[in-house]
């Protein structure tokens, strides 16, 4: 059961990432779509829809059908691809690829820590959430300050937070296998780990990515 659930979780996570990056690459090469997306309110609508879908899937996973869960996850992955298209416009492809690989390695290391550690990581949940809110709050403040050093510090802390969440979420999936049916847990777990990976990747890109300009 244990190995089976994780194979499903990572399988759906891969599908989600694949959809996101294929969508992002396609949109980044289509000037008409890019113009429509980033010069109208469509970008804001897309961003809000992403948040709503994450909340909906996370809070309703036990009650929704497996088909609804899968569709919600795929739609979320697609919408993220739309917003991600800006990354392929702003950064060099070689830089994006390198940061993706580094993020994958870091993600794997902490996923293995979460899988095999004997430490109860659930006791760190409150700390991780507090740090996450701290990152969000300071990020909003720095939008107005525009301090590059402050931004670097925020990115480093954010990476630490989401690496911690990666280990925590792996352990949480193992605990939830007794509460949520397998196929639904696969989608829920895929979403949580997808979010962890994406945020690690974005922060690495912000820190070390090479701009096209």
Predicted confidence at residue 2, as pLDDT, reads 57
Q: How confident is the model at residue 149 (pLDDT cuts 50, 70, 90)?
A: confident
Contact 51, 79 (CB under 8 A): no
Q: How confident is the model at residue 213 (pLDDT cuts 50, 70, 90)?
A: low
Residue position matching structure tokens 């000037």: 31
Report the alpha-carbon distance of residue 124 to residue 165 in Å, rounded: 9
Those residues whose C-beta lies under 8 Å from the C-beta of residue 114, and which sit 6 or more positions away, are 121, 166, 167, 168, 169, 170, 171
Backbone angles phi, psi at 210, to 5 degrees: -95, 120
For the chain, the domains span: 2-208
Nearest to 121 by CA among 158, 58, 164, 177: 164
Tokens of 198: 């994406």
pLDDT, tens digit (0-9, with 9 covering 90-100), for 81-135: 999 999 998 999 999 999 999 999 999 999 999 999 888 888 888 899 999 998 8
To the nearest 10°, the Cα dihedral for 41, 54, 72, 57?
-150
Strand, helix or coil at 130?
A: helix
């Amino acid at each position: 059961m244990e190995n089976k659930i994780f194979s499903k979780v990572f399988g759906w996570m891969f599908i989600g990432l694949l959809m996101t990056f294929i969508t992002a690459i396609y949109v980044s090469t289509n000037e008409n779509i890019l113009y429509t997306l980033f010069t109208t309110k469509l970008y804001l609508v897309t961003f809000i829809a992403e948040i709503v879908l994450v909340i909906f899937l996370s809070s309703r996973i036990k009650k929704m059908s497996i088909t609804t869960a899968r569709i919600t996850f795929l739609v979320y992955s697609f919408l993220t691809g739309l917003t991600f298209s800006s990354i392929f416009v702003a950064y060099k492809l070689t830089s994006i690829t390198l940061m993706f690989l580094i993020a994958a390695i870091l993600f794997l290391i902490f996923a293995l820590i979460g899988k095999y550690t004997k430490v109860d990581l659930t006791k760190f949940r409150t700390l991780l959430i507090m740090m996450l809110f701290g990152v969000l709050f300071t990020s909003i403040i720095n939008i107005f300050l525009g301090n590059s050093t402050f931004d670097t510090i925020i990115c480093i802390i954010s990476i630490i937070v989401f690496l911690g969440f990666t280990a925590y979420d792996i352990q949480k999936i193992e605990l939830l296998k007794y509460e949520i049916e397998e196929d639904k847990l696969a989608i829920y777990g895929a979403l949580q780990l997808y979010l962890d990976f994406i945020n690690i990747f974005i922060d690495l890109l912000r820190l070390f990515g090479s701009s096209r300009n």
